[in-house]
Copies of this chain bind each other. A is one copy, B any other.
Amino acid sequence: VCGMEWYGYAALGVLTAFLSFLMDLSVAKLLNAHQWLYMKLEGNSLLQFFCWTLYPACLCAVGSTFSHDICPFSTGSGIPEVRTMLVGFEMPHYLSVTHLFTKYVGLICTLAAGSTVFLGKVGPFVHLSTMVGAYLSNLCTLVQVDKKENALREMLVVAAGVGVASCFGAPVSGVLFSVEVMSSHFALKQYVPCFFSAACGALTFRLFAVWSGDGETLQALFKTDFPAALPFYPLEILLFAFLGLVCGAVSCCYLFCHRRMLKFTKTNSVLAKLLTTEKGLYAGTVAFLLACVTFPHFFGRYMASKFTMKQLLTSLMDSSQWGSQTHNASVSEPLSKWSSPESPFYFSLTFFLLMKMWLLVVACSLPVPAGYFMPVFLYGAALGRLVGEGAAYVFSWTSINPGGYALAGAAAYSGAVTHTLSPALLAVEVTGQFSHAVPALVAALLANAVARSRRRPSFYDALSIGK
């Protein structure tokens, strides 16, 4: 009844989701192994230090060398390349199966280094899904008798949408995010294939989670439990707007540092030479330094460095007020990791924000396959949490939910860095609660207004210019 390409779209969604699930599984195993070893060495700080630092350093060095040796251009996020291909440039070596394999293995190494390296998987997954799409498109062309024109390009557009969707199990915002990032004009003809493929991907991704015993039913990835009856007071909209402006300002600072860092790695002769010839060495050294800073017996205890990325995000979106808990005897699980007797959580959050700003800029220079969206999203959540806790302290007679500010902050900050609005929807979709949709949208709009003023380039623009 329907054309060959629809089977291709469905297969694309299912395959990408399968890859995503398999990656999550392997990364979780590797992270667990690290945690287990670290716990076993309890009592011996020196051995713990080596375990903490050498594990990510080795992973990054291996991932970097491996991807450099097999496919030298497989490092980085991949979004600038996909963008270029969608505009119409043909870059067949960027779509080969070897490249797919290299990027996949390299990305597992990066993610297994965990929250010390603090990088994500969104960008490379967009690239991975376009590679799967190109492969499927070739298969379709082999089978089909009457060849369609532009079949490859259409498949690539669809694949770009599927990548984000099967990363987070969020079909709607996944498609919208890649539309915003990728293209300046979007043909509505490709709307339905995109959503079809993304729905297949998100469904498969979540069903895998159910079948592997991770949950009883299809759930949001970072499920929250905000109170449904009174999510926020109407006047809190002003606070959310203020949060949006703060996020916009901080994002300008981050983008400036990132551009300077990109320029510095190009112009500094030592670094530039190191990055072309000795990628593995550079990656290992930088990862070692990052791990030194986040070592739990050193600065790490002030920045909850024992959490994985997922745990960090879940803890920041906690709906209870941490400020009011410090007087009580019972302290909730997230707060106990974020505070210690010598450092209240206010200090930890501020320290986390200050340190991660430059750590993230350094981490972005790592020559490994890595996504830069998730860390930015997390950073925004921490920023939002701090503002939310502050608001809860100032207006202590009301029951302000700081988790909602974390959600809006994540949406606003990641939206400002990438110059998009869809993170507002993404934040709602990955947490599975709609109550904060309007605050998140308001915050994202204002953050975008600040970030886009004076024609500043977005994060991906800066990467594209750098290439």
| A contact residues vs B (CB 8 Å cutoff) | 1-2, 171-172, 176, 179-180, 183-189, 191-192, 195-196, 199, 202-203, 206-207, 210-211, 216-218, 220, 225, 228, 230-234, 237, 421, 424-425, 428-429, 432-435, 437-438, 441-442, 445, 448-449, 453
Q: Given the complex of chains A and B, what is the CA–CA distance between A225 and B228 in angstroms?
A: 9
Q: Which residues of chain B are within 8 angstroms of A441 by Cβ–Cβ distance?
A: 171-172, 195, 199
26 A-B pairs with CB atoms under 8 Å apart are: A171-B437, A171-B438, A171-B441, A172-B437, A172-B441, A176-B176, A180-B188, A184-B188, A185-B187, A185-B188, A191-B421, A192-B445, A192-B448, A199-B442, A199-B445, A202-B438, A203-B438, A207-B234, A210-B234, A211-B234, A217-B230, A217-B232, A218-B237, A218-B438, A220-B434, A225-B228
Residue pair B187, A184 in contact (C-beta under 8 Å): yes
Q: Given the complex of chains A and B, what is the CA–CA distance between A206 and B445 in angstroms?
A: 18
Closest chain B CB from A189 CB (angstroms) = 7
In the complex, the chain B residue whose C-beta lies closest to that of A444 is B195
Q: Which residues of chain B are within 8 angstroms of A184 by Cβ–Cβ distance?
A: 187-189
Q: Given the complex of chains A and B, what is the CA–CA distance between A2 and B450 in angstroms?
A: 11
Q: Given the complex of chains A and B, what is the CA–CA distance between A264 and B371 in angstroms?
A: 59
**A453 in contact with B234 given A184-B188, A441-B171 (CB within 8 Å):** no
Q: Given the complex of chains A and B, what is the CA–CA distance between A433 and B237 in angstroms?
A: 20
Q: Which residues of chain B are within 8 angstroms of A228 by Cβ–Cβ distance?
A: 225, 228
Q: Which residues of chain B are within 8 angstroms of A206 by Cβ–Cβ distance?
A: 438
Residue pair B434, A429 in contact (C-beta under 8 Å): yes
Residue pair B437, A435 in contact (C-beta under 8 Å): no
Closest chain B CB from A120 CB (angstroms) = 22
Q: Given the complex of chains A and B, what is the CA–CA distance between A217 and B229 in angstroms?
A: 9
The answer, among B189, B425, B432, for a CB contact under 8 Å with A172, is: B425
Q: Given the complex of chains A and B, what is the CA–CA distance between A206 and B438 in angstroms?
A: 10
Closest chain B CB from A173 CB (angstroms) = 9
Residue pair B434, A195 in contact (C-beta under 8 Å): no
Closest chain B CB from A16 CB (angstroms) = 16
Residue pair A188, B189 in contact (C-beta under 8 Å): no
Residue pair A231, B202 in contact (C-beta under 8 Å): no
Closest chain B CB from A161 CB (angstroms) = 13
The answer, among B179, B230, B428, B429, for a CB contact under 8 Å with A188, is: B179
Q: Which residues of chain B are within 8 angstroms of A231 by Cβ–Cβ distance?
A: 217-218
Q: Given the complex of chains A and B, what is the CA–CA distance between A176 and B422 in angstroms?
A: 12
Q: Which residues of chain B are within 8 angstroms of A203 by Cβ–Cβ distance?
A: 237, 438, 442
**A432 in contact with B429 given A185-B187, A231-B217 (CB within 8 Å):** no
Q: Which residues of chain B are within 8 angstroms of A429 by Cβ–Cβ distance?
A: 434, 437
Closest chain B CB from A217 CB (angstroms) = 5
Q: Given the complex of chains A and B, what is the CA–CA distance between A186 and B196 in angstroms?
A: 19
Closest chain B CB from A319 CB (angstroms) = 13
Residue pair A199, B432 in contact (C-beta under 8 Å): no
The answer, among B187, B202, B216, B445, for a CB contact under 8 Å with A195, is: B445
Closest chain B CB from A413 CB (angstroms) = 17
Q: Given the complex of chains A and B, what is the CA–CA distance between A220 and B195 in angstroms?
A: 25
The answer, among B185, B211, B234, B438, for a CB contact under 8 Å with A199, is: B438
Q: Which residues of chain B are within 8 angstroms of A210 by Cβ–Cβ distance?
A: 234
Residue pair B435, A432 in contact (C-beta under 8 Å): yes
Q: Which residues of chain B are within 8 angstroms of A188 by Cβ–Cβ distance?
A: 179-180, 183-186
Closest chain B CB from A152 CB (angstroms) = 20
In the complex, the chain B residue whose C-beta lies closest to that of A428 is B434
Q: Given the complex of chains A and B, what is the CA–CA distance between A445 and B171 in angstroms?
A: 12
